[in-house]
A = this chain, B = another copy of it.
Amino acid sequence: MSDCNDKQILILHVAEKLFAEKGFDGTSIRDISKEAKINIAMVSYYFGSKEKLLERLILFRTNDLKVQLENIFNEQLTSFEKIDKFIELYIDKIDSNRHMYQILHFEISYKKRAIDLASFTAVKNGNLVSLTKIIEEGQAQNVFKKDVNIPLITPVILGTYFNFHTNKPYFAEILNLNSDEKYDQYIKNELTKHIQQTIKSLLINEK
């Protein structure tokens, strides 16, 4: 980020990790300062307050999230391939931003703090637009059916991923994914494939 020095970025990274692990309220400034090996006063000094640190963190990361899902539409691909690619990139993106999503997840749920989520909403809207364009193109080509509730498709993608990930211990056990590598591989292959299959089925099958 432009207006951040190294120490600020360090704090943001450590805060991101700890907030994701233990929650905002469960993480103290002391925890952050200890892990980042910086002075306790630094957080208030640089960010004003713990809450403002969170806001900056969200801003800091949301910029990252504006990845180009919108470009897919213009690529030389079939509608099916575009859907596949959209999901693959989407999953990949949130998977590599797990921490931030975990944090956002909670902040959105909790009515406690009034975090400005405008930029995050903008990202979601952008993604919805991209997806809508792809689907409508497929519908125009008569490869996708017409009566589908498009805004409810992203929840299927994201929700499936998050639910799987939230219950990591459970799925790791019943699917025998006894290492982080296997687990990550499973997400990249099986889970992504499953979601792709699900969305594509929804888009073509009349039932």
Residues of A within 8 A of B (CB): 21-26, 80, 102, 105-106, 108-112, 121, 124-125, 128, 148-149, 151-152, 154-156, 158-164, 166-167, 169-171, 174-175, 190-191, 194-195, 197-198, 200-202, 204-207
Picked from B21, B149, B152, B164, the residue with its CB within 8 Å of the CB of A159 is B164
Is the pair B164, A155 in contact by a Cβ cutoff of 8 Å?
A: yes
Picked from B169, B191, B200, the residue with its CB within 8 Å of the CB of A152 is B191
- Give the oligomeric copy count: 4
Is the pair A164, B152 in contact by a Cβ cutoff of 8 Å?
A: yes
Q: How far is the CA of A121 from the CA of B195 in the complex (A)?
A: 23
Q: How far is the CA of A164 from the CA of B152 in the complex (A)?
A: 8
Given contacts A151-B175, A152-B191, 5 further A-B contacts (CB under 8 A): A21-B110, A24-B26, A26-B112, A121-B170, A198-B198
Is the pair B155, A110 in contact by a Cβ cutoff of 8 Å?
A: no
Measured between beta carbons, the chain B residues less than 8 angstroms from A110 are 21-23, 26
Picked from B156, B174, B175, B204, the residue with its CB within 8 Å of the CB of A205 is B204
Is the pair A194, B21 in contact by a Cβ cutoff of 8 Å?
A: no
Q: How far is the CA of A156 from the CA of B161 in the complex (A)?
A: 8
Query: Which chain B residue shows the least CB distance to A175?
Result: B151
